[in-house]
Structure 1
Amino acid sequence: MKPRPGWFSRTIVDATTTMLSEPFVTDYCRANMWLVRGRDLDMLVDTGMGICALAPEIDITPGKPLLAVATHVHLDHVGSLHEFAWRAGPRVEAEFFATMPDEATYANMFRNFPGAVSELPWPGWSSADYAIVPAPLDRLLEEGDVIELGDRSFTVLHLPGHSPGSIGLFDCHDGTLFSGDAIHCGLLVDDMPDSDRTAYCATMRRLIDLPVSIAHGGHADSIDGTRMRKIAMEYLRRNGG
């Protein structure tokens, strides 16, 4: 379905990074999508809800491939993944991408969410009809894998806790981290059926020691490394980590 005008917002972060979001989706499910341009390969980190088509909003460079990477399989990060021909995501959750079951994506939660959207994407739309199209992965990512863009590279970090397979993408040369839902300055969700607070504490301890200069999360604003480490330490204090 063609998006209504303004369904997607777009923010230029720097010369190679653009953030997209869905401003009319409820805060709880409004995720950030990150387009990162490289010399040889462009990378799209997460793909939103899939209510309106995302692919037409992505400026494709003719002749240059685009890799769409899902940081985890929850609904607000995989909704438009099927629109992209080359897809990657965490090996730990790989089986779910082929069928997108409610028990893994929590799409059923959105179907019954009060105030799911503040504006209808098209007349007659209803959250009760929401479904996620299966998107089998072409590349399975795990700890230590590297995504090469040509002029920069991102190392895959397994950052479980929010979900079993949650990953981050870290550029060790400039300290940029695309952290998914592992850490950001919004509400850190650790009470989903597949969440694990013990694993989340281990992830937070790891992040404290990571030389991050800026973290682009799955929700809320980007944060510098000092703020990220403070958030991680606060989480550990609250959870006895």
Structure 2
Amino acid sequence: MIKDPWFTVQQIDNQTFGISEYGHWEKVHSFLLLGVEKAVLIDTGLGIDNMKRITDQLTGLPIDVITTHVHADHIGSHGEFERVFVHEGDKDWLVNGIQGLSINQIRKDIRRDITLPTPVSFDPDTYRPFQVEPTGLVNDGDIIDLGNRKLMIYHTPGHSPGHICVFDETNGYLFTGDLLYDETPVYAFYPSTSPVDLVNSLERVAELPGVFMVYGSHNTLGLEASILEEVKRAVIYLRENDLARFGTGVHHFDGFSVKF
């Protein structure tokens, strides 16, 4: 497996790789899915270092970047790839800049609690999230056919207006972006988020049939599909107790938590 000073590459199967940034407090994961004629890269990480250096070592296939959502820690290496796709709900953020988070807050988050040496090209004082006109849009219900596997797009707003999840129906892998992960809270407390939409989106993915593993974009790489049963219970609890609104704080469940 690839040895790299910044990225950790973990093989999920022969055609699926997690590309992780464990040297940063957010422990961000991006995912490379290989097909027959092209590959899909789900997100491109923090932008502290260049992810294309890694993908070039993993495949010679052309790569389509599918953006789960437009936050700085998911679009960092977008500029290194020719074909970038995003949901309409987050398109304006990708073109004109992220709303609801100041550049000072973004720079504060990008620079703190780094435990590995960063490349000389990284300067947190001048860091700016990547901006670009996307190649195209992905929409709810779109199917991306890689020849040997089919990826279904689900629009799952809440964490951002255009947040999506990607379901690899062939292998049962559900890539949940920042909708669901463990250890630290999933959040919907900024003005650009929606607690109600987040709960609705959690309910939607929890009902998907055929999920074998859940791959969130932070912390543990790969969660058992049984976590979706806890998500169903959490949705009921949050609704019955009128907690899906700003200011209700952190709510802990078995295997994950949310912050409103």
- Is the TM-score greater than 0.5? yes
Q: 1:161 to 1:102 in 2, by over 3 A?
A: closer
Deviation at 1:36, TM superposition (A): 0.7
SS at match of 1:230: helix
In the alignment, the residues of structure 1 paired with residue 119 and residue 168 of structure 2 have an alpha-carbon distance, to the nearest angstrom, of 39
Judge conservation of contact 2:48–2:119 (CA < 8 Å) in 1.
no
Deviation at 1:182, TM superposition (A): 1.1
Judge conservation of contact 1:9–1:21 (CA < 8 Å) in 2.
yes
210-219 vs 226-235, which deviates more?
226-235
The aligned residue for residue 216 of structure 1 is 215
* Aligned residue identity for 1:103: Q
* Aligned residue identity for 2:195: R
The aligned residue for residue 103 of structure 1 is 99
Deviation at 1:180, TM superposition (A): 0.7
Judge conservation of contact 1:168–1:179 (CA < 8 Å) in 2.
yes
Deviation string, structure 1 residues 89-110 (Cα, Å, up to 9, x no partner): 11111122123x2426665323
Deviation string, structure 1 residues 206-240 (Cα, Å, up to 9, x no partner): 12211222111111221122113313532542454
The aligned residue for residue 191 of structure 2 is 193
Deviation at 1:10, TM superposition (A): 0.9
More strand by share: 2
Judge conservation of contact 2:94–2:130 (CA < 8 Å) in 1.
no
In the alignment, the residues of structure 2 paired with residue 185 and residue 107 of structure 1 have an alpha-carbon distance, to the nearest angstrom, of 27
In the alignment, the residues of structure 2 paired with residue 123 and residue 138 of structure 1 have an alpha-carbon distance, to the nearest angstrom, of 30
53-62 vs 209-218, which deviates more?
53-62
Normalising by structure 2, we get a TM-score of: 0.82
- Structure 2 unpaired stretches of 5+: 245-260
The aligned residue for residue 231 of structure 2 is 231
Judge conservation of contact 1:12–1:18 (CA < 8 Å) in 2.
yes
Judge conservation of contact 1:36–1:42 (CA < 8 Å) in 2.
yes
Q: What is the aligned counterpart of 1:51 among 45, 48, 53? A: 48
Residue 192 (structure 2) pairs with residue 179 (structure 1): no
In the alignment, the residues of structure 1 paired with residue 62 and residue 22 of structure 2 have an alpha-carbon distance, to the nearest angstrom, of 28
Residue 11 (structure 2) pairs with residue 12 (structure 1): yes
Pairs aligned (count):
234
Deviation string, structure 1 residues 97-151 (Cα, Å, up to 9, x no partner): 123x242666532312472422341359542221123232112011011111111
Q: What is the aligned counterpart of 1:79 among 76, 79, 92? A: 76
Judge conservation of contact 1:49–1:75 (CA < 8 Å) in 2.
yes
The aligned residue for residue 26 of structure 1 is 25
In the alignment, the residues of structure 2 paired with residue 163 and residue 11 of structure 1 have an alpha-carbon distance, to the nearest angstrom, of 27
SS at match of 2:40: strand
- Which stretches of structure 1, 4 residues or longer, exceed 6 Å deviation after superposition? none
In the alignment, the residues of structure 2 paired with residue 125 and residue 199 of structure 1 have an alpha-carbon distance, to the nearest angstrom, of 35
Q: 1:40 to 1:128 in 2, by over 3 A?
A: same
67-76 vs 220-229, which deviates more?
220-229
1:128-143 equivalence runs, <5 A: 128-143=125-140
SS at match of 1:103: coil
In the alignment, the residues of structure 2 paired with residue 189 and residue 110 of structure 1 have an alpha-carbon distance, to the nearest angstrom, of 16
Q: 1:105 to 1:60 in 2, by over 3 A?
A: farther
Judge conservation of contact 1:97–1:136 (CA < 8 Å) in 2.
yes
SS at match of 2:28: coil
Q: Percent identity?
A: 25
